[in-house]
Chain A
Amino acid sequence: MDEILEILEKDARITAEEISKMTGRDVSEVKRLIKRYENQGIILKYKTVINKELLREDTKEVRALIEVNVTPQKDLGFDKIAERIYSFSEVVSCYLVSGTYDLLLVVEGKDLHTVSNFVAEKLAPMENVRGTVTHFLLKKYKEDGIILKHKEENKRIAISY
């Protein structure tokens, strides 16, 4: 992977000037490449990672992992049914997986009810859905490589040889 992408993946707010200083490449080249990655859809979005564990209880959202068994469709395989499912805004992530079920969803709602309702009323009744198993998330420890903790304290002594 291009170094520019590696750097941006870790910190989306780093400027082209800073990337240029870190990599020794021209600012204009860095800018041009970033633009190209954006146009090609390689860079899709810049977003902020929020540790929602630290938010007030009543503003927290509820997440569930849902295993879904589906009947694939002729010629279309899983793609069509997956699209029908992931198009719901409640579905945060959707993966086709190997193993005992087919689709793994991450679903988010403002409370338990919302998520349950989504499963009972939208997801389960779908024509090609054969069954679902819902796991509500109780606590998040690590997400996308980021450990959800307060800022690390500095453990080194401030000056040494």
Chain B
Amino acid sequence: MISKKVQNIQPSGIRRFFDLVLGMKEVISLGVGEPDFVTPWPIREAGIYSLEEGFTSYTSNKGLYKLRLTLNRYLKNRYGLEYDPDNEILITVGVSEGVDLALRAIIDPNDKILIPSPSYVSYGPVTELAGGRPIYIDTRSTGFKLTPQLLEKYIDKNTKAIILNYPNNPTGISYTKRELEEFKKLILKNKIFCISDEIYGELTYDFEHTPFATLKEVKPYTIYLNGFSKAYAMTGWRVGFACGPEEVISAMNKIHQYTIMCVPITSQIAACEALVGGRSYIEQMKKEYKRRRQYVLERLNALGLEFIRPQGAFYVFASIKKTGLSAIEFASQLLKQEKIAVVPGDAFGKKYSDYIRISYASKFDNLKEAFNRIEKFLKRRQKDV
């Protein structure tokens, strides 16, 4: 009875491992894909106040005008990016909805969507649901970095778009302006879209984050996706935004208005407050993540686990090849023996079953304890071998 299309979506191979984690008590988890901070109080307070004042209605499909206008000003001030609040900005249920809308808005049957991998879990399945063909570009041999050469090799006449995600989940790899310029040339030359998922943009530690749309001439080909979840610790509010050419945003809004209608008004009002008064909180959290990153990398080095130095987000993608275990075996044993949870690399692409994703969105004491236990776990294994 279930549609072929849905049946064909591969269930995640690590679902069982997730259930194992969720069924166990007192686990220290380095497997969490969201900040450990709670939403800063002024933002929560704005949400509460809006409820007290009786803001409980629908908003316009595209989102509260006030939020779109605030976004327009914010993007101008922060990045020099100009998007018309009337027809180039759409408020979405997190970037997740943004990805779905963007893909559904542009895909015709059998269009190819390029996905540099390892990648966030939803891109492939959502592409398939939209009737497109996900084409995964393995970046392992180039340090988890997409290169212009790799990209060029994959673009053909059926290519409709590439999904860029930087800083990347799960690797934390990001791109400098100069690197992005190279992708831009190919995008302009081949007239394909770039769906740019920059949800971790504010959490870039080694250089300034460059939104793809700020590069000259490429704005008409860019669908810029971002949101409030990671930078402002607002995952549960489910609010993000999509910016792009009027034609694309209007197509996305067509789907959005019939499926979602609008993002909850409470979340939209809170998001306004985030943009206006949230800067100092971002800076504080970023500082903390940066320290944790340094700490985690030092510990990984000491354990002799290889990784490519992440430049943003709050993840490290570490190789566990030398243990001789598959990522699922490694993660399961670590969980059972030491009560530490990590995400097996398989979640982010079939080819990454010798990697684990470690999230450092966790208090320092937890990180310390977790690495002490991982150290114990590895030492015990060495002895056994």
Q: B22 near A: Cβ within 8 Å?
A: yes
Given contacts A11-B364, A18-B368, contact A159 B295 (CB under 8 A): no
Given contacts A157-B22, A159-B18, contact A18 B32 (CB under 8 A): no
Q: Which listed residue, B121, B299, B341, touches A161 by the CB 8 Å rule?
A: B121
Q: Considering the complex, which residues of chain B in the window 288-303 have a beta carbon less than 8 Å from any beta carbon of chain A?
A: 291-292, 294-295, 298-299
Provide the main secondary structure of the chain A interface: loop
- Residue pair B31, A160 in contact (C-beta under 8 Å): yes
- Residue pair B32, A158 in contact (C-beta under 8 Å): yes
Q: Report how far A71 CA is from B299 CA in the complex, Å.
A: 59
Q: How many residues of A contact B (CB 8 A)?
A: 17
Using a Cβ cutoff of 8 Å, how many contacts connect chains A and B? 54
Q: B29 near A: Cβ within 8 Å?
A: yes
Q: Considering the complex, which residues of chain A in the window 101-125 have a beta carbon less than 8 Å from any beta carbon of chain B?
A: none
Q: A22 near B: Cβ within 8 Å?
A: yes
Q: A23 near B: Cβ within 8 Å?
A: yes
Closest Cβ of chain A: how far from B300's Cβ, in Å?
11
Q: Considering the complex, which residues of chain A in the window 1-41 have a beta carbon less than 8 Å from any beta carbon of chain B?
A: 3, 6-7, 11, 14, 18, 21-24
In this complex, what residue of B is CB-closest to A24? B294
Q: Report how far A147 CA is from B121 CA in the complex, Å.
A: 38
Q: B169 near A: Cβ within 8 Å?
A: yes
Q: B203 near A: Cβ within 8 Å?
A: no
Q: B152 near A: Cβ within 8 Å?
A: no
Closest Cβ of chain A: how far from B6's Cβ, in Å?
19
Q: A119-161 interface mask toward B, CB cutoff 8 Å, 1 = contact, 0 = none?
A: 0000000000000000000000000000000000001111111
In this complex, what residue of B is CB-closest to A160? B33
Contacts of B343 in A (CB 8 A): 159, 161
Q: Report how far A23 CA is from B292 CA in the complex, Å.
A: 9
Q: Report how far A46 CA is from B287 CA in the complex, Å.
A: 23
Q: Report how far A11 CA is from B295 CA in the complex, Å.
A: 15
Closest Cβ of chain B: how far from A24's Cβ, in Å?
5
Closest Cβ of chain B: how far from A141's Cβ, in Å?
14
Contacts of B292 in A (CB 8 A): 22
Contacts of B341 in A (CB 8 A): 158-159
Closest Cβ of chain A: how far from B33's Cβ, in Å?
4
- Residue pair A158, B29 in contact (C-beta under 8 Å): yes
Q: Report how far A101 CA is from B169 CA in the complex, Å.
A: 56
Closest Cβ of chain B: how far from A160's Cβ, in Å?
4
Q: Report how far A114 CA is from B287 CA in the complex, Å.
A: 45
Closest Cβ of chain A: how far from B170's Cβ, in Å?
8
- Residue pair B33, A161 in contact (C-beta under 8 Å): yes
Q: Report how far A119 CA is from B99 CA in the complex, Å.
A: 67
Given contacts A21-B294, A156-B32, A156-B36, contact A161 B347 (CB under 8 A): yes
Given contacts A18-B368, A21-B298, A21-B299, contact A158 B291 (CB under 8 A): no
Given contacts A11-B364, A21-B299, contact A159 B294 (CB under 8 A): no
- Residue pair B32, A160 in contact (C-beta under 8 Å): yes
Q: Write the residues of chain A forming the contact surface with B, with a CB cutoff of 8 angstroms.
A: 3, 6-7, 11, 14, 18, 21-24, 155-161
> Can you give 15 contacting A-B residue pairs, CB < 8 Å?
A6-B287, A14-B364, A18-B295, A21-B299, A22-B294, A23-B294, A156-B29, A156-B32, A158-B21, A158-B24, A158-B29, A158-B31, A159-B18, A159-B22, A161-B343
Kindly list the 8 A-B residue pairs having the minimum CB-CB distance in the complex, ordered from nearest: A159-B31, A21-B298, A22-B291, A160-B33, A158-B29, A159-B21, A22-B295, A21-B295
